[in-house]
Amino acid sequence: MIFSKYLLPLGALLTTALSQTVPQNVDNSTYPPIFPLNKDTEFAFVLEEMLALSNGGGANTGEVLRAATRIIPGSFESFYSAFFFFAEKIHSQAVSALKGGFKVSARDAFFRSSTYYRAADFFLHGNITDPRIYSLWDSALADFDSALSLMDIPGVRFNITSGHGFTVPVIFYKAKDCNEKTPTVLACSGYDGSQEEMYHQIGTKILERGWNFVSYEGPGQPTVRRQQNIGFRPDWWDVVTPVVDWLATRGDVDMDRLALEGISFGGTLAPRAASREHRFAAVLSVDGLDSLFDVLYAAFGPQIAGLFDSGNKTAFDVVMKSLQTNSSLPAQTRWIIDQGEFAFNTTSAFEWWTGLKTINLTKDIIEPINVPIFIGKGQDDASTDDQPELMRKLAESVGKTPTYHFFETDLGAGEHCQLGAESQLAMVTMDWLDGVFKNVTGKNKAGEIGQHHWRRM
Ligand SMILES: *[C@@H]1O[C@H](CO)[C@@H](O)[C@H](O)[C@H]1NC(C)=O
Ligand SMILES: *[C@@H]1O[C@H](CO)[C@@H](O)[C@H](O)[C@H]1NC(C)=O
Ligand SMILES: *[C@@H]1O[C@H](CO)[C@@H](O)[C@H](O)[C@H]1NC(C)=O
Ligand SMILES: *[C@@H]1O[C@H](CO)[C@@H](O)[C@H](O)[C@H]1NC(C)=O
Ligand SMILES: *[C@@H]1O[C@H](CO)[C@@H](O)[C@H](O)[C@H]1NC(C)=O
Ligand SMILES: *[C@@H]1O[C@H](CO)[C@@H](O)[C@H](O)[C@H]1NC(C)=O
Ligand SMILES: *[C@@H]1O[C@H](CO)[C@@H](O)[C@H](O)[C@H]1NC(C)=O
Ligand SMILES: *[C@@H]1O[C@H](CO)[C@@H](O)[C@H](O)[C@H]1NC(C)=O
């Protein structure tokens, strides 16, 4: 879904902190806010992400904690091996369980093996010719599909034609086994997250509340990037509107109670979509960013920023390539470049930054959003820095009053996108959304289609 919460210089600090015990009455900023599972901060972060999927049936804690023991700081191959081992083992267990007719066991195992195939792939994107980028993903999708088919109400995949040269893969999870019009949450992840992981992260909690959950991916996101060779693009409304058109044709979606949620960089994409797509009752941005470009621009430091501003593509690409291929640099530095180029379908860091810069939030994006907006911020989320706060200020500057929630480190909810505290995230976001849905008065009767704009505020 995301990238590490620790900005580059914090790596050394954390390594020091790990080798000590935390004494009383110290400056808490010296110590890690959550227990790190690797000395490499990026590995610790992604391990935490995988561990957190346990809260929604996407992993088991013992499996992730065991994999963590096999991972050598900085070694991308060790990360691959540790998770590939679990992917294959748990996949075999799933197949055996299915053969034995044990559907629940098989479903649970297929969900987990799918996660572990995705985890094995996570750090491999630096070498675009590595066939594992595709083979692992195919395995992850296949196992996820096996799991979907074994659910009580199976999640169903659809490909929605966008009319803009790409299709949008969607998974529809029905809350109820009938055709009753039901409140629905449509959601996407961010810079590196899949729609499959979204089910474990927020989907199960949404379904428990009796609402449909619909996940999707657009260009730049993992499956679209692989199957259609398309990188991120700024016109996210062209991704979302075809999906909403399709939802409107279904009998089981209450089009008056349809919300759009985005996680991390998805928290930038969702408001962008909602600036032109007005059929939502609410928009939620969880640790979203006004501008991921601004965060990276600052994190890479003035020399690299200056080189980018000079417009010398050749020189910029050479310098970034030297960082990307230097195995003695922290995993985060290398991975963020690997992933950026991968997700923007380029081998040029300059093209990546140029594309990323156009995906931001500005007054003209926020202003047309005339429905309640939720902005979440993790206290310790250094990867989005003060971006959620900037988003709030931006919204206020155009006369809006977004609901803003600060998730606390002391409660274990301060991580990026509340990793590991999914119940707190769901409590805050979905209880708020329940209030928004209850406030909806208009009924979307035939003949009123197209009048969505007057429904609220
Ligand atoms: C450090 O955090 C703990 C709880 O998380 C708190 O009780 C303590 O007062 C904090 N210490 C300082 C110096 O802020
Ligand atoms: C990239 O992957 C290909 C295919 O596995 C391999 O032949 C090549 O050596 C790799 N390149 C680098 C720089 O590791
Ligand atoms: C969606 O498109 C992909 C890529 O062409 C294909 O592999 C997949 O089977 C399609 N899924 C559905 C549900 O049609
Ligand atoms: C993505 O990159 C590949 C390889 O450079 C290229 O063939 C393809 O056309 C690109 N896709 C788009 C949509 O530009
Ligand atoms: C761009 O940078 C390269 C390498 O540093 C240098 O050789 C070249 O002259 C620069 N081009 C311009 C237009 O400044
Ligand atoms: C790789 O990074 C290390 C640590 O910053 C640095 O000392 C070394 O010179 C770099 N190597 C190359 C080839 O740039
Ligand atoms: C924000 O994105 C728009 C295009 O989407 C671009 O024109 C503008 O320069 C970007 N603003 C900043 C500050 O990067
Ligand atoms: C529901 O409407 C009431 C009355 O207008 C308002 O005070 C409240 O904030 C709304 N609730 C939400 C969650 O938007």
Quote the CA–CA distance of 370 and 348 in Å, as a whole number.
Answer: 38
* Nearest C-alpha neighbor of 227 from the set 273, 159, 171: 159
Show the tokens assigned to 288: 């979203």
CA 311 to ligand 5 centroid distance, Å: 10
pLDDT of 384 reads 75
Residue 300 corresponds to which amino acid? F
Using a 6 Å cutoff on CB, does residue 362 contact ligand 7? yes
10-residue mean pLDDT series, the chain (457 residues):
44 34 56 89 96 98 98 97 98 98 98 99 97 98 98 98 98 96 98 97 98 98 98 98 98 98 97 98 96 95 97 98 94 96 98 98 97 96 84 95 96 96 98 97 45 33
Contact at 8 Å (CB) between 300 and 324?
Answer: no
pLDDT of 56 reads 98
Show the tokens assigned to 99: 């053969």
pLDDT of 24 reads 54
Show the tokens assigned to 376: 């979440």
Task: Name the residue with the closest Cα to ligand 6, atom 10.
Answer: 326
Quote the CA–CA distance of 346 and 320 in Å, as a whole number.
Answer: 13
The H-or-E segment that residue 243 falls in is helix 237-248
Contact at 8 Å (CB) between 121 and 133?
Answer: yes
Residue to mutate, 309, 312, 319, ligand 5, most ligand atoms under 8 Å from C-beta: 312
Quote the CA–CA distance of 133 and 122 in Å, as a whole number.
Answer: 9
Show the tokens assigned to 110: 């297929």
pLDDT of 32 reads 79
Nearest ligand 3 atom to alpha carbon 158: 13
Which residues form ligand 1's pocket by a CB distance below 6 Å?
A: 25, 27-28, 410
pLDDT of 63 reads 98
Quote the CA–CA distance of 225 and 230 in Å, as a whole number.
Answer: 5
Contact at 8 Å (CB) between 287 and 376?
Answer: yes
Show the tokens assigned to 238: 């062209």
pLDDT of 31 reads 73
Task: List Cβ neighbours of 287 (8 Å cut-off, separation of 6 or more).
Answer: 2, 263, 264, 267, 376, 377, 378, 381, 383, 384, 387, 388, 416, 417, 418
pLDDT of 382 reads 74
Q: Report pTM.
A: 0.92
* Nearest C-alpha neighbor of 152 from the set 136, 135, 173, 170: 173
Contact at 8 Å (CB) between 204 and 52?
Answer: no
Task: Name the residue with the closest Cα to ligand 7, atom 12.
Answer: 357
Task: List Cβ neighbours of 278 (8 Å cut-off, separation of 6 or more).
Answer: 368, 370, 371, 452, 453
Residue in the block written with tokens 């299709």: 167
pLDDT of 59 reads 98
Q: How far is CA 368 from the centre of its chain?
A: 24
DSSP state of 127: S
Phi-psi map region of 288: left, alpha, beta (phi>0 left; psi -120 to 50 alpha): beta
CA 402 to ligand 8 centroid distance, Å: 12
Instruction: Write down the domain spans for the chain.
Output: 153-291+360-457
* Fold observed for domain 153-291+360-457: Rossmann fold (3.40.50)
Task: List Cβ neighbours of 184 (8 Å cut-off, separation of 6 or more).
Answer: 211, 212, 213, 214, 247, 253, 254, 257, 258, 259
Q: How far apart are the first and last CA of the chain?
A: 32
DSSP state of 54: G
Task: List Cβ neighbours of 375 (8 Å cut-off, separation of 6 or more).
Answer: 267, 285, 288, 388, 391, 392, 395, 402, 403, 404, 405
Quote the CA–CA distance of 243 and 270 in Å, as a whole number.
Answer: 13
Task: Name the residue with the closest Cα to ligand 6, atom 12.
Answer: 326
